[in-house]
Structure 1
Amino acid sequence: MTSFDARSVAEIDNLDDLYSVFDDLSVEGGWYRRAPALWPEPLRNFLPYVWRYAEMKAVLDAAGRLVDHEMADRRNLTLTNPVEGNGYATVRSLVAAYQLIRPGEVAPAHHHTPAALRIILEGRGTYTVVDGDRVEMRPGDVLLTPSWAWHEHSAVGPDDCYWVDILDVPLVHLLEPMFFEKYPAGVQEDPRDIDTSPIAFRWEDSLACLAAETAAPEHGMAEREIELGSPAMPTIALHVQELGAGFESPTRRTTANSIFTVIEGSGETIVDGERLTWERGDIIAVPAWRPYQHIVSEPARMVRASDEPVFSVLGLLRSEKV
């Protein structure tokens, strides 16, 4: 930084010389900006995208032969939105990944400030231990790992287990309170085996709650919908949606970012004019304020993870029919 001479500035008689002082002081004039700071509606930054489970599973299977837990705590595939300049996030504030654990393996314990959740796709005999509670991970279940909770995973059954991870890591990156620590002993000692837990939303319970719903949600994006938790975590809301064959939703947009995991069925989602076809296990990224519509071919159930709680508490949550 060059030394500031107030007398020289006082003698400036043209804007070009004044703007050269701005550069030296690392400031900008409100009347003279290189790029606008305000705009009429959210920008189209992150891209609509679909990741196909059949492709991701094949890659994970290859990694299962080549990558063990000595090489990495977790064998997962991060779903990086292909927008230029992005190196990590799936949508602005959330990241999703596919993960595989094989029989006999243990993913050792650690904790971190980002909140996480697991949506189980297939495989039995796999458990997660969260702050000392050992819970089985079954297909269709959604399991939570709150911020700073110790957690590990182990496969004691005969099946490879595949699931989807969703975390608020990009939000923590932005806000900067990132902390991460490995468990000193590797795994948590003497875990308690439990079946019912606030961190575990069982698929059979979700189905029963969906069946009990007598009215479609007001937004019309599904025929039936339930919320897991209220919200599930401070930064992530979870909704399980049911959509029958032939269902066509209205077109809506929201300031919240959404990641859909397809548990059952097939169809397509049109996001800002782009058609994304999907089937069981696929993941769909719907960025903020992009109009989207679901068109269903085979009866479908999806888990929608969104950052609605963040926008809601800040008074920035908007949604409208287009």
Structure 2
Amino acid sequence: MTEALKPALAFDSAQDLDELHAMLDGVRMKNGWAKPTPSLYPEPKRPFIPAHWRYADARAALHAAGRLVGTDRAERRNLIMANPVPGNDYGTTRTIVGAYQMVKSGEYARSHRHTPNAMRLILEGAPDAYTIVDGKRIPMLAGDVLLTPNWSYHGHDNQSGRDAYWIDFLDVPLAEYLGPIFFEIHPDTLEQSSEAAPLSPMRFAHSEYSVRVAALQDTSPGVKCLELGPPRLATFDRVIVQMAAGTRWNRPRTTVNQIYVVVKGSGTATSGEHAFDWNPGDMIAIPSWHDHHVHASSDATLLRVSDAPLMRMLGWERTALASR
């Protein structure tokens, strides 16, 4: 036997499995027949739980942060909605993070770019508040949905007379897990632009999509759904859900991670033992493999953000009603 084919240890001398396991540790190998936890299981685990965050709390906290944290001290003045499970301090779901952000009147947040995709829903904007995406000044008005695809420079400039508030969504938890995180600051700090682009394909204006969704047929009684796009992102989508007062929308378990934000209206959401009362600006996380029910107390509009495009691309989208 050549030296290259000679094993490092005399595995044939093992008299029992304990001895063999110890030898495997010596060559940095793990047995696949006696793992303490299985690699495969009958259905998905559920490490994250349904959760709810109130905009009333986030807004008040950001207002206080506006006195204490300047944009010169933080890349973004934001609040991360970390799923409240032990050991987690970032992801709202496994693949997506949602964060409330504020830029004060007369303030800007410097331009940067990164490999994760990003999107924002404007909660309180103004005609003179802009997101600058690749050199174009895109208005931020209440209810607008704005995209910043990966590696697009983007910054925020608020020259209005009031503070601007919104929610950011990013696929950073996914990108961190897979590894390809890259980040750069724009050489001009705030990318300069004099070109306003209200019709940018990166902007889905509330004034436009609210009319479109109202004209659609119900996808289920009292519920209309409109996916915003193109353009689209490969890792998460954006769907406008319009619900008539009194509607109850039953949603089955799915491998898709979902986050809802209330654009208009009020109601309740339940998932297992979790029950939430929601109002405008609130955020609700429904991690994968949790069924849920949404009830609208008044006419309501929700934005649902999910990793369905990613799950479909990988062939992993499945609901509890689908055959295995």
Quick check: 2:137–2:193 contact (8 Å CA) kept in 1? no
- The TM-score normalised by the length of structure 2 is 0.94
The residue number in structure 1 matching 2:88 is: 86
The residue number in structure 2 matching 1:248 is: 248
| CA-atom RMSD in angstroms | 1.6
SS in 2 for 1:295: strand
Amino acid at match of 1:235: T
Deviation (angstroms), 1:231: 6.6
The residue number in structure 1 matching 2:195 is: 192
More strand by share: 1
Pairing 1:128-143 to 2, within 5 Å after superposition: 128-143=131-146
The residue number in structure 2 matching 1:106 is: 108
Between 1:285-294 and 1:221-230, the stretch displaced more is 221-230
Structure 1 residues 11, 63: closer, same or farther in 2, change over 3 A? same
SS in 2 for 1:298: coil
Quick check: 1:47–1:81 contact (8 Å CA) kept in 2? yes
Deviations 1:114-167 (A, max 9, x none): 000110001312101100111110000000000000000010111111000000
Correspondent of 1:204 among 207, 226, 237 = 207
- The TM-score normalised by the length of structure 1 is 0.94
Amino acid at match of 1:90: T
SS in 1 for 2:189: coil
Quick check: 2:109–2:156 contact (8 Å CA) kept in 1? yes
User: How many matched pairs?
Assistant: 316
Deviation (angstroms), 1:37: 0.3
SS in 1 for 2:310: helix
SS in 2 for 1:281: coil
Deviation (angstroms), 1:300: 1.0
SS in 2 for 1:111: strand
Amino acid at match of 1:40: P
Quick check: 1:129–1:191 contact (8 Å CA) kept in 2? no
Percent identity between matched residues is 40
Quick check: 1:230–1:237 contact (8 Å CA) kept in 2? no
Pairing 1:1-322 to 2, within 5 Å after superposition: 6=8, 8-124=10-126, 125-213=128-216, 215-217=217-219, 220=220, 223-230=223-230, 232-320=232-320
Alpha-carbon distance between aligned partners in 1 of 2:57 and 2:47, rounded to the nearest angstrom:
26
Amino acid at match of 2:185: K
Amino acid at match of 2:309: P
Alpha-carbon distance between aligned partners in 2 of 1:282 and 1:20, rounded to the nearest angstrom:
53
Amino acid at match of 1:38: L
